[in-house]
Every structure is written in structure tokens, then in C-alpha cells.
Amino acid sequence: MMAKSYDVIVIGAGPGGMTAALYASRANLSVLMLDRGIYGGQMNNTAAVENYPGFKSILGPDLAEKMYQSSTQFDAEYGYGSVDSVTVGDDGLKTVVTDSETYETHALIIATGSEYRKLGVPGEDEYGGRGVSYCAVCDGAFFKNKPVAVIGGGDSAVEEGGYLSQMTSGVNIIHRRDQLRAQKILQDRAFANDRIGFTWDTIVTEILGDGQKVTGVATHNKKTGEDSQQSVDGVFIYVGNQPMTAPFLDLGITDEKGWIVTNEKMETKVPGIFAVGDVRQKDLRQITTSVGDGGIAGQEAFNYLQSLGD
Ligand code: NAP
């Protein structure tokens, strides 16, 4: 089968990938944006976005739609594809193999982002979709007027805990330390919310159920050594993310944890392969920083293709 060819292929249609596609297509390059799901990435799992300039507050899926309309206005194509592998030929041509197609490009922009990490305790898999969730926006409505636990102490746990407090009977945030990692504004809001409680210095050792659905969590206090149980109907797990880089590990562009290493031009160490957004090794993973990365990579892909013609 003949491989389909594009000037630029962007893998992943979150904010970083969509911005890269906007910049590259506006520079008159042929661009394909591949994603294995709906465009928008993690914005689709976010209730209110309050730190994207231009909007005091906007629903994550609404922002995703606006970005998609914008990123495809110069004819960047958006297509389904779950990428299996990327190889680089001696001539620098990159071959991208998906579950249904093979593509070729000289400029590849990886924008695959990250996915939630599991807690790794008994009951987590057994009660997945039956009380255990990783997405408050998707599943919160199932717990109307019922008590839920949120596990974690970062931005996601605290922000989504606030969202869940609006429809549940109460949220208990269980955190393994006595201080939250989340941004101060999110902490202040959570501390002022009388529908949110906290259990400090505590790890969840098991998710309990009756065979059908979640009934509670078993906990262990690391300071007092006390083992205890809490009755809840839902458990929302927000204990961090891991990079989605499995198809790229053979390229030698990742660090020991799998995040992709780039310079300020979003270049990896393979010429013509760029990475943007949450999949990069970086400190601040935000929609704004992904968008910034995407603009740089779209422009640098153009510069790279120009250099090939010199
Ligand atoms: P995160 O910042 O990595 O926080 C993970 C939290 O889970 C930490 O509090 C951590 O505890 C805890 N944790 C990790 N492993 C655990 C385990 N095995 N058992 C119990 N607790 C565990 O992840 P995140 O909150 O999902 O955020 C991911 C990225 O997205 C961050 O860069 C964040 O800033 C960004 N984000 C931003 C916003 C926003 O700007 N509004 C919203 C959501 C996410 P320790 O604190 O003890 O390490």
C-alpha cells in the first residue's frame, strides 16, 4: 500500500497539537493531525478552565471546539489514527504506521500528552466504572447527593474535588501528606468549601465494595499507624499522569520516565521530530504552555522543511 504523504504530521489533537497544526497550515504546509479519539485531549475532561486568557471561565469541551475550528481554518486535516510506530529512514523521512494506514512526512510533531496514573490498590480495577473513576466531569453526575472520596493532593484532585462538591453530598480529599501540592488559589477555594473535607497523611490501601459497586475505602494513616475505613459511593483517583510515548520509545528521545526531551525550539534529538505539550519533560503542564509549545513547533517545522530545500 502506498504511504500517504504530508509536509507535517501532528500526532495528538490536544491544545499543543492543534496549535502546531494551525501554525504549520497557516504557513501553507500540508498538515495531518492524527488522534485516536475526539480532538481536545484532556480539555474534554475538564469542567471549567479559568486560566486560559481571553475567557474568564470556559467549559473545557467548549474551548476544545473553538480551538479545533481555529486550527483547521487553513485546511489542516484531522483524522483518526492510533499510532503503532514511527521509524526514520536514512534520508530523514519519517514513516508513521497506525492501526489502519501508513503515512510519510519529513516533519513530525508529537503531541500525545499524558494519561492518568492508577493507584495500584486492590479493588481499583474490579470496581472501575462501578464507583471508581478518573474523570469527575464524565462520572460526577452518577453520584448525585452521595458521598465521594478524591485521592491525591495536586491541581486535579483539588479542582475536580470542587466540581464534585456541587452535585455530591460531600467530598473527602484523602492525601498522603499534610500539605496539598495544588496551586494556592485552588487550595484556598477548597478550604473555604464546607462540602469538602480532608484526611491528611493517609494512603488508601484498598477500595471496598459489595461485589457490585464501591462501598468505601480502607485507609492507613502514615503518622499514627491507624488503619480505618470510610464509607463512600464513589472514589475519584487523581494521583498524577504518565506520558503516552509507547510508540516512540525506540527513537531514543525520551527520559528515564518516558517524557520526551526537547530544546526551546521543541526539537528532539532526531532532526525533524518535535514534541509539544504535556508529553514533554517540563515543569508546568497547562493549556497555555501547550499552546505556546505548539506555536513554536509549527514554526520550527516550517524552518526545518525550508532547510531541507537549501
Ligand atoms: P500531580 O500534580 O502530579 O499531583 C499528583 C498528586 O497525587 C500529588 O498530590 C501526589 O502526592 C499524589 N500521589 C501521587 N502518587 C500517589 C499515590 N501512589 N498515592 C497517593 N497519592 C499519590 O498530578 P495532577 O494533579 O493530575 O496534575 C497533573 C498536571 O496537570 C500538573 O502539572 C498540574 O499542574 C496540571 N493541572 C493544572 C490544572 C490547572 O492549572 N487548573 C488543573 C489540573 C491539572 P504528593 O503531593 O505527596 O507528591
249-265 residue pLDDT tens: 999 999 999 999 999 99
Q: Provide the annotated active-site residues.
A: 135, 138-139
The predicted structure's pLDDT at residue 2: 83
Least confident segment among 60-64, 94-98, 134-138: 134-138
C-beta of residue 279 within 8 angstroms of C-beta of residue 112: yes
Residue 14 has pLDDT above 70, yes or no: yes
Q: Is 26 in the pocket of ligand 1 (CB under 6 A)?
A: no
> Which of 286, 287, 289, 290 has the most ligand 1 atoms within 8 A of CB, as the residue to mutate?
286
The predicted structure's pLDDT at residue 280: 98
Ranges of each domain in the chain? 4-116+241-308, 132-237
The predicted structure's pLDDT at residue 1: 65
The predicted structure's pLDDT at residue 45: 86
Q: What is the 3-state secondary structure (H, E, C) of the chain?
A: CCCEEEEEEEECCCHHHHHHHHHHHHCCCCEEEEECCCCCHHHHHCCEECCCCCCCCEEHHHHHHHHHHHHCCCCCEEEECCEEEEEECCCCCEEEEECCCEEEEEEEEECCCEEECCCCCCCCCCCECCCEECCHHHHHHHHCCCEEEEECCCHHHHHHHHHHHCCCCEEEEECCCCCCCCCHHHHHHHHCCCCEEEECCEEEEEEEECCCCEEEEEEEECCCCCEEEEECCEEEECCCEEECCHHHHHHCCECCCCCECCCCCCECCCCCEEECHHHECCCCCCHHHHHHHHHHHHHHHHHHHHHHHC
Percent of the chain at pLDDT > 70 equals 99
The mean pLDDT value for 181-190 works out to: 97
Q: Is 153 in the pocket of ligand 1 (CB under 6 A)?
A: yes
The predicted structure's pLDDT at residue 154: 97
The mean pLDDT value for 198-220 works out to: 98
152: left (phi over 0), alpha (psi -120 to 50) or beta: left
Q: Is 159 in the pocket of ligand 1 (CB under 6 A)?
A: yes
C-beta of residue 274 within 8 angstroms of C-beta of residue 108: yes
Q: Which three cell numbers stand for residue 42?
A: 484532556
Residue 238 has pLDDT above 80, yes or no: yes
- Taking CA atoms only, the protein residue closest to ligand 1 atom 2 is 154
Distance CA 75, CA 71 (A): 8
The predicted structure's pLDDT at residue 310: 67
C-beta of residue 295 within 8 angstroms of C-beta of residue 24: no
Report the Cα 102 to chain-centroid distance in Å: 26
The mean pLDDT value for 263-287 works out to: 97
Measured from the Cα of 283, ligand 1's closest atom is: 32
Q: Is 60 in the pocket of ligand 1 (CB under 6 A)?
A: no
Same fold yes or no, 4-116+241-308 and 132-237 = yes
Any residues with CB less than 8 A from the CB of 114 and at least 6 apart, and which? Answer: 42, 241, 242, 243, 244, 278, 279, 285
Name the pLDDT band for 227 (thresholds 50, 70, 90). Answer: very high
The predicted structure's pLDDT at residue 155: 95
CATH number for the domain running over 4-116+241-308: 3.50.50.60
The predicted structure's pLDDT at residue 137: 87
Measured from the Cα of 116, ligand 1's closest atom is: 26
- CA–CA distance from 211 to each of 122, 123, 130, 131, 141 (Å)? 13, 10, 10, 11, 22
pLDDT tens sequence across 107-162 = 999 999 999 999 999 999 999 999 999 999 889 999 999 999 999 999 999 999 99
Which residue has 487523581 as its cell numbers? 238
Q: What distance, in Å, lies between the first and last C-alpha atoms of the chain?
A: 31
pLDDT tens sequence across 15-53 = 999 999 999 999 999 999 999 999 999 999 888 899 999
Q: Is 135 in the pocket of ligand 1 (CB under 6 A)?
A: no
Distance CA 51, CA 42 (A): 15
CATH number for the domain running over 132-237: 3.50.50.60
User: Ligand 1 centroid vs 63 CA: distance in angstroms?
Assistant: 22
Measured from the Cα of 50, ligand 1's closest atom is: 41
User: Ligand 1 centroid vs 197 CA: distance in angstroms?
Assistant: 18
Name which of 247, 265, 241, 254 is nearest 116 in CA terms: 241
Q: Is 220 in the pocket of ligand 1 (CB under 6 A)?
A: no
